[in-house]
Amino acid sequence: MNKKKESKDVGEGLILFAHGSRNPQWRKPFDRLLKDVVKRGGYAAVLAFGEFMRPGLVDAAKILAAAGAKRAVIVPLFLGGGLHVRGDLPRLAAEARAASGIKLRVAKAICEDAGVLQAIADYSIASSTAVTSARRKPS
């Protein structure tokens, strides 16, 4: 990638925030998601994890700041809005703001988006139909 293009005013950034796992294979779908977001979004984006994996949210914000981002949105990749979303995330976001100097906004968790829930429902129904069809034997 050409340096001039990289050094343009990045301005906006995106942090995809997931739980994390001790199993390194767990992050593979998140890496694919990040790659797609960067390709289609055209701006700086980074994964961050709440536990077990790196970078954490504070380091992710610092990475974006070093890339020239002045502001970023944190997207919580959680299917439930429990303790990590309602408790840990606000605290970590405040720490990340202070450590990075960038303006951070926290988006609603993906579990709160009707389109995401619709996509999960569609997938679930399609999966159920595929299982049912596979069980049917031709007469």
| φ, ψ of residue 74 in degrees (nearest 5) | -100, 120
Sign of the C-alpha dihedral computed for residues 70, 20, 37 and 122 taken in this order: negative
How far is 63 from 46, CA to CA, in rounded Å?
Answer: 8
pLDDT tens-digit series, residues 33-73: 999 999 999 889 999 999 999 999 999 999 999 999 999 99
Query: Model pTM greater than 0.75?
Result: yes
- According to DSSP H, which parts of 18-88 are helical? 28-41, 57-66, 83
Residue 121, pLDDT above cutoff 60: yes
Q: Are 48 and 15 in contact (CB under 8 A)?
A: yes
Catalogue all structural domains in the chain, each as residue range(s) with its CATH number.
Answer: 3-112 (3.40.50.1400)
Please give the Cα distance from 138 to 126 (Å, whole number): 20
Task: Single out the catalytic residue among 10, 12, 19, 116.
Answer: 19
Please confirm, yes or no, whether 84 is among the known catalytic residues. no
Residue 68 φ/ψ region, left for φ over 0, alpha for ψ in the -120 to 50 degree band, beta for the rest: left
| Model confidence pLDDT, tens digit, residues 79-103 | 988 888 989 999 999 999 999 999 9
CA distance 67 to 9: 9
